[in-house]
Structure 1
Amino acid sequence: MCGRFSLITDVYALMRQYQFEFEGEYEARYNIAPGTDILAIASYGGKRVGGELRWGLIPFWADNEKIGYKMINARAETVHEKASFRQPLKSKRCLIPADGYFEWKREGKMKRPFRFVNKDNSPFVFAGLYDRWDKGERPIFSCTIITTAANEKTAEIHDRMPAILTPGQQDIWLDPTVSDSMALTSLLKPYPSEKMDFYEVSTLVNSARNEDRGLIAPINSK
């Protein structure tokens, strides 16, 4: 699964790299957790537009918004089959920028956190889906991050990883004229191991209340 990530890259650098418009508040975040609002990029009116979505997808048909806490991830292998994700896959796709994500390696009763990054420390984007829920006092726009099988490097720590899209895949993912489920899920492959690196970080990242630069500092060699 993908249950925590970071995004500290300057927003203007993100806008240049991913060619999207954005008007709103943005701050660096070292420990992004489910249930919070996160930056996402979608296609709107022929343009890429950035906005905030709550992490944890609430299907439009759900009776209670709390279902979102169970919907932080969607599996690439079954995303086209599940009722919660089937329709968003066809028409409500987004990119979720990050510059690192965390996974935990279980050793007995202990879990050691590791941060995964691009080797050149550049940001990347996860494949995401979003939906609008209108059964509360106000509309809620929410999203999920799609996961896929781990690449060789990630598999040292965990058997799943977020589906990271290359620039060409990003164009297809955001293209509103593309709705074929098989064509879309074919993009959701493990990111190349040779492009990634990872390192151990402090267990302070285990608590979503902690939020500072020290959370992304390496503490030990792998």
Structure 2
Amino acid sequence: MCGRFAITLPPTALREAFGYREQPNFPPRYNIAPTQPVPVVLPHDGGRRFLLMRWGFIPGWVKDPKTFPLVINIRAESAAEKPSFRHALTRRRCLMPADGFYEWRRSGTGRQAVIEPFLFRRPDRGAFAFAALWETWHSQDGSEIDTVAMMTGPANGTMAAIHHRCPVILDPRDYPAWLDPDATPQQVQSLLKPPPDELLEAVPVADAVNKVANDGPQVQEPTATQAGVETPRHARKSARPATDDGQGSLF
């Protein structure tokens, strides 16, 4: 399950990558957590628009969100059959931009268990997009909350050494098809597949990422894996230095 991700590229780079019309200005985020506002790209008037949504999908029929489990990941294999997600899969598909996400590898049991965080990113540090579904939840007092969750599927070869599930990362050539409001769930089902093994590299990082309050470049600093635990074949030990360019705050 993907429970943390990152957006550290400048806003201009994301706008160029996803082609939305707005010009949002936001700071780098290294450790985005569930329930926080996250950028979403939607189809709009023949183009695309940028919007912030709450990471944590709430179906429209839910009366009290407190009684509904926090949904940050949606299984691609069953979304079309689940009442909570099938309407969103039909009409409310979107992109969740990112340039990294984290997963934890568990080995051993009990007090001997070892839990290691890994950063997954493109070797060229470029942006990518999770396939995602969104919904607007309406409260009884008339207020609204736009909510979103990413799609997940079986792990690819790079992820399999760490976790058995992987976010669905769309090929940029498939963005138009995924965002097409006239496409049916059956037509887009073929897009919900594991990313190519070579798309991502796995970088072992320190456990600073475990704490939500840590949201700076230090959470992506590579580190040696713990003794006796094999590093996956796609792991890298290099990282570009992260900088703070003084951009304004948005989320």
TM-score of the aligned structures, taking structure 1 as reference length: 0.95
Change (3 A) 1:131 1:160: same
1:116-157 deviation digits (Å, cap 9, x = unpaired): 011211110000000001115420000010001100111010
Whether the 8 Å CA contact 1:56–1:68 is kept in 2: the answer is no
Deviation per CA, 1:3-45: give whole Å up to 9, x if none: 1100011111111111112254522100000000000100012
Is 2:165 aligned against 1:157? Answer: no
Residues 17/67 of structure 1: CA separation in 2 closer, same or farther (3 Å cut): farther
The one of 188, 209, 213 equivalent to 2:217 is 213
Structure 1's 90 and 119: CA in aligned 2 closer, same or farther, altered over 3 A? same
RMSD across aligned positions (CA): 1.4
What's the offset of the Cα at 1:220?
Answer: 1.6
| Larger CA Rg, structure 1 vs 2 | 2
Partner Cα separation in structure 2 for residue 128 and residue 136 of structure 1: 26
Deviations 1:197-217 (A, max 9, x none): 111011110111211100011
* CA 68–114 in structure 1, closer or farther in 2 if over 3 Å, else same: farther
**Does the Cα contact within 8 Å between 2:62 and 2:68 map onto a contact in 1?**
no
Pick from 198, 204, 213 the counterpart of residue 202 of structure 2.
198
**Partner SS for 1:40:** strand
Moved more, 106-115 or 54-63: 106-115
SS at 1:50 equivalent: strand
SS in 2 for 1:131: strand
Matched with 1:91 is: 91
Q: Secondary structure at the match of 2:157?
A: coil
Alignment of 1:26-175 (within 5 A): 26-66=26-66, 70-108=70-108, 109-137=113-141, 138-175=143-180
Task: Structure 2: give runs of 5+ residues left out of the alignment.
Answer: 226-230, 232-251
2:3 match: secondary structure = coil
SS at match of 1:186: helix
In the alignment, structure 1 segments of 5+ residues that lack a partner are none
For residues 3-14 of structure 1, the aligned pairs below 5 Å read 3-14=3-14
